[in-house]
Amino acid sequence: MKRAALFMALLLLQSCVAETVERRRPRKGPIKEVGFVDLGGGQVRYSTDGWPWFVSGRRRHALRLMRKNCGKDLSPQVLDEYQHQDSDIAYAGEDISTNLGTGMDHFKIAPFQHMKYECRPKGAPVEVIKVSSGSPVMVIPPVSVSTSSLIPGATQ
Q: Over range 41-64, report the average pLDDT.
A: 93
How far CA 115 is from CA of 8, 69, 75, 110, 118, in Å, comes to 29, 14, 15, 16, 10
Q: Which residue has the higher pLDDT, 13 or 33?
A: 33
3-state secondary structure of 104: helix
Give me the pLDDT at residue 86, please.
Answer: 83
Residue 6 scores a pLDDT above 70: no
Residues of the chain above pLDDT 90, percent: 35
DSSP letter for 134, please. Answer: S
pTM of the model: 0.64
How far CA 93 is from CA of 18, 36, 87, 97, in Å, comes to 22, 40, 18, 6
Is the Cβ–Cβ distance between 57 and 113 less than 8 Å? Answer: no
Per domain, the residue ranges of the chain are 20-134
Residues of the chain above pLDDT 70, percent: 58
Give me the pLDDT at residue 64, please.
Answer: 95
Euclidean distance between the first and the last CA atom of the chain, given in angstroms as a whole number = 91
Most confident of 13-17, 85-89, 143-147, 149-153: 85-89
Residue 13 pLDDT class (50, 70, 90 cuts):
low
**Would strands 107-121 and 27-28 be described as parallel, antiparallel, or unpaired?**
unpaired
Q: Which residue has the higher pLDDT, 32 or 1?
A: 32
